[in-house]
């Protein structure tokens, strides 16, 4: 059961890491898009009339605002994924430690059982040797 839980936690950790990587990739793409929009704005203002430039500037600012909102949302999602990742990692480590403690306890119990079995065997052998010595003098 513990092993299954550990495997499940490791799978969740891997999934969250993939999500985190995906969010980072999307974040970088959005940053590139913002840079491209700013470059277009700078180029577009060179050959336009005042009203065209004003309209273009308004449109680009709106698009920039949307991209910034998306960027903020992606950053928040990334931060949540990082926090979830840390939480899952600590839970995985805790479960692993519990499994190791259980294995150590089992090993100790197995060793104690073997020692007791050996002591019992030795006691029986010494008891049978002592019993045969006591029976010899009572003979003829």
User: For 98-139, what is each residue's pLDDT tens digit?
Assistant: 889 999 999 999 999 999 999 999 999 987 765 555 555 554
Overall residue count recorded for the chain in this entry: 140
- Euclidean distance between CA atoms 43 and 52, whole angstroms: 13
- How high is the pLDDT of residue 5? 77
Quick one: how far is CA 97 from the chain centroid? 14
pLDDT for the residue 140:
47
> Which residues of the chain are under the pLDDT cut of 50?
139-140
Phi-psi region of 48 (alpha: psi -120 to 50; beta: other; left: phi over 0): beta
pTM: 0.46
């Amino acid at each position: 059961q513990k092993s299954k839980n550990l495997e499940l936690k490791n799978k969740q950790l891997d999934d969250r890491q993939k999500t985190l990587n995906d969010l980072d990739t999307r974040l970088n793409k959005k940053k590139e898009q913002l840079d491209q929009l700013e470059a277009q704005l700078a180029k577009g203002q060179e050959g336009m009339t005042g009203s065209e430039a004003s309209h273009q500037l308004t449109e680009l600012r709106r698009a920039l605002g949307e991209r910034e909102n998306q960027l903020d949302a992606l950053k928040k999602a990334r931060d949540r994924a990082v926090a979830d990742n840390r939480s899952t990692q600590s839970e995985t480590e805790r479960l692993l430690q519990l499994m190791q403690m259980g294995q150590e306890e089992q090993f100790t119990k197995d060793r104690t059982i073997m020692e007791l079995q050996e002591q019992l065997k030795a006691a029986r052998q010494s008891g049978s040797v002592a019993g045969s010595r006591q029976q010899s003098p009572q003979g003829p």
